Amino acid sequence: MDTSDKRPFGFWTATALVVGGMIGSGIFMMPAALAPFGWTGSLAWIVSIAGALAIAYTIGRMAQAMPEATGAVAITGAALGEFPGVLVGWSYWVSVWCANAAIATAAASYLAAIFPPLNATPWSGALTSIALLWLLTLLNLAGARAAGRFQVVTTILKLAPLIAVIVIAVSLGVGGDVHLPALPTGHAVIVSMATAVTLTLFPLVGFESAGVAAERVRNPARNIMRASMAGTAVTGLLYILVCSAIVLILSADTVAKSSAPFALFVGQFWGSGASLLVALFAAIAAIGALNGWVLIQGEVPLGMARAGLLPAWFARVSRRDVPIRVLVVSSALATALILCTASPTLGGVFQFMAILASCATLWLYFAVCVAALVRRIAVPAAAIGLAFSLFAFWGAGWEAAGLSVVLMLTAVPLYFLRPKTSLAEQPA
């Protein structure tokens, strides 16, 4: 097989995977969630981005030190042992397909803002979400190269709403039409910071995408570090600018009650036509994020199986090196979750599962930082990332953190079914 087919992602595609995985449905709803926090929300972005950059740097350094590893999950298994590797990887996989259910539903709701019949009833909305999920699953079944090209295109398009908000904010600032709220007192910042940091973490999840899909990246020792740091820094800067602009320029009460704060902001200054256009680009953003995460949901178990951390069943691939079985199972589980949310009475369960997905991802961040400290690699960055992960666990709440542990432990039977050696070490 040609190397370019097995590792089709260069620097730009790997960066698009990072940016595309981060800019999805989360950021387009985040201004409403952060509106009550005012300036504290802007400070929380800085804290969360600093933590994400520390973890991204740690993942990049670990990839440089262990270029033979098939991804960040395999790195934790090699550094901490097979059992922790299985637990962490399984938890991350659960978080990915749970997040895909949430992102598919969000994409459907954005499309419904333009075509209301798509979400006229709970069932029509669920079917729209499922259709999007399986369309992108089919795209990924065609191979990583096709999914990577789609990711580059959607990443470019999804930046449009963010740029529109920045343009409006800059024009208002130049014209002297901005009246910002007063800065909070030190006590108010301390009291609300933990909650705000937890909220701002959700849209940042995805900065580890290049490290997780290391097996698809050319020259991983060089490109994973560059793609992770560049993608996280650029996306984080955009997040601070656009979210702070919406929260600080508009009325906090108005933003907090909006189901589409980006469309609200653009529509107030550029009219209803521009508002619908922003809704379209928001849908593209969610679809692009869904494409990237569908790719990741297949790569996580595949990388673990090739490292000997899961049974060989998970390592079966097609002629195009696509883990068809794992992709189908993952999307089937996400479909089941979407169908559960078709009942209005389960809306709260679905919202909790979205929080659970982010909480489950924290186990990977925690484990990578511990692995780096054990190997004495990027010690300052790993220590910062570890402290940030623990702080985020605390902010997520004991219920979500506890359930993430329960789901993680369902991988224990698979640990005893794993092969004695990795697939790479087995004789041909």
pLDDT value of position 421: 57
Question: How much is the pLDDT for 379?
Answer: 94
pLDDT at 414 over 80: yes
CA distance 179 to 23: 28
Cα within 13 Å of Cα(327), Cβ side: 28
Q: Which residue has the higher pLDDT, 425 or 128?
A: 128
Give the per-residue pLDDT at 188.
Answer: 58
Q: Supply the pLDDT for residue 23.
A: 75
pLDDT at 139: 82
Residue 387: per-residue pLDDT? 94
Residue 84 near residue 367 (C-beta atoms within 8 A): yes
Cβ neighbourhood burial of 319 (10 Å; 0-12, 13-18, 19+)? exposed
Residue where the block lists tokens 């790997």: 14
Backbone angles phi, psi at 222, to 5 degrees: -100, -45
CA distance 385 to 49: 11
**pLDDT for 202 beyond 70:** yes
Residue 426, pLDDT above cutoff 50: no
User: Mean of the pLDDT values across residues 279-283?
Assistant: 82
Give mean pLDDT, residues 316-343: 83
Domain boundaries, the chain: 3-417
Burial of residue 333 (number of CB atoms within 10 Å: 0-12, 13-18, 19+): middle
User: Residue range 173-196: average pLDDT?
Assistant: 68
Per-residue pLDDT at 2: 47
Fold of 3-417: Amino acid/polyamine transporter I (1.20.1740)
The percent of residues above 90 in pLDDT, for the chain, comes to 12
When mean pLDDT is compared over 256-270, 277-291, 360-374, the highest value belongs to 360-374
266 Cβ contact partners less than 8 Å away, ≥ 6 residues apart: 161, 164, 165, 168, 274, 275, 277, 278
| Both tokens assigned to 155 | 């990443």
Among the listed ranges 210-214, 227-231, 265-269, 295-299, which one has the minimum average pLDDT value? 210-214
User: Higher-confidence residue: 147 or 27?
Assistant: 27
Tokens linked to 280: 């379209």
The reported pTM is 0.77
Name the strand (E) or helix (H) holding 160: helix 144-174
The predicted pLDDT at position 376 comes to 93
**pLDDT tens track for 106-152:** 788 778 878 888 766 777 888 888 999 999 898 888 765 665 666 66
Cβ neighbours of residue 16 closer than 8 Å, sequence gap 6 or more = 148, 151, 152, 155, 231
Residues 15, 227 contacting (CB under 8 angstroms): yes
